[in-house]
Amino acid sequence: MSAVACPVPPEQRPLQEYEQLKQSWFFVWPSENLAGLLKPLAISWLIVLPITVVVASGSWVLRHDPARMVVSGMVAAIALPVLLLVRQWLGWSYVHKRLVSERVEYEESGWYDGQVWEKPLAWRQQDLLVATHQVRPVLERLQQGIGLAATLMLLGASLCQAL
């Protein structure tokens, strides 16, 4: 890979962006397994839960129905984990897109001088392997997390209506 002269600054190369993402404390959550993703999401949900229950208690209707108030707060607290999942999805899908692309868009010194560089075949093959075997499983875990969050929100909303 070093035999090819590459005009792309090192920090803008897709493999380097992948490595930076993988080393980030936030983006590393889904990189190993689904449990590694769900644990911090559950913690964030638990941290926000008391706040959402207090906010729900401000409703006159819910104040007189404690069960619905708590369930409403629980459903509302899922918003933070959903936002975290969306942010992770955006980061990982951006890197995936850059890895599978045949060209690298980069900036030499600022937003006004964007360039495009065609990846050599060896770079494309390596990037495609990383995208397929490293990044795609992370995106699948994030999809599972988003699906679980959506399911929990629907179940919670249904439970709130049933009460």
Asked whether residue 18 is assigned to any structural domain, the reply reads no
- How large is the average pLDDT for residues 114-119? 87
Please name the amino acid found at residue 55: V
Q: State pLDDT tens for residues 62-85.
A: 788 888 888 889 999 999 999 999
Q: Output phi, psi for 53, to 5 deg.
A: -70, -40
Asked whether residue 25 is assigned to any structural domain, the reply reads no
What are the tokens at 136?
A: 């795609």
Asked whether residue 136 is assigned to any structural domain, the reply reads yes
Asked whether residue 126 is assigned to any structural domain, the reply reads yes
pLDDT for position 121: 92
Residue range of the domain that includes 45: 35-102+117-162
Q: State pLDDT tens for residues 2-16.
A: 556 888 888 889 999
Q: State pLDDT tens for residues 101-111.
A: 999 988 877 66
Q: Output phi, psi for 102, to 5 deg.
A: -80, -15
What is the C-alpha to C-alpha distance for residues 74 and 79, in angstroms, rounded to an integer?
10
**Number of domains the chain contains:** 1
Q: What is the mean pLDDT of the chain?
A: 90
Q: Can you tell me whether residue 115 is helix, strand or coil?
A: strand
Asked whether residue 111 is assigned to any structural domain, the reply reads no
Asked whether residue 17 is assigned to any structural domain, the reply reads no
Asked whether residue 13 is assigned to any structural domain, the reply reads no
Asked whether residue 122 is assigned to any structural domain, the reply reads yes
